Amino acid sequence: MPKSLMLDAKAVGFSCALLWGGAQLVMGILATYVGYGVAFVNLVSSIYPGDGLGPVGIVLGTVFGLIDGFLGGYIFALLYNRLAK
């Protein structure tokens, strides 16, 4: 496969980390202070320990989202590059 068609695994990982971590942050803030998205935060808190409503839950959810997003994006890019050959 031409080098130009390969994905940069780190770039994809960081992009996914920012998207998923940012989504966790925004939804945590909205759920805690506005009441919107509480069901989403409760669903994700069943996966990420410590995630939930309140400032500590928002921070932990964001950190877990950043880590999970990076790992998911990084592994996706590696698999894509491997399988697209």
- Is residue 54 in a domain? yes
* Structural domains counted in the chain: 1
- Is residue 2 in a domain? no
Whether residue 2 is predicted with pLDDT greater than 80 in this model: the reply is no
- Is residue 1 in a domain? no
- Is residue 63 in a domain? yes
- Is residue 66 in a domain? yes
pLDDT value of position 60: 94
pLDDT value of position 5: 84
- Is residue 3 in a domain? no
Label residue 85 by pLDDT band (50, 70, 90): confident
Tell me the one-letter amino acid at 65.
Answer: G
Q: Can you give the residue range of the structural domain that contains 22?
A: 8-83
Query: What are the pLDDT digits (tens) for 4-20?
Result: 689 999 999 999 999 99
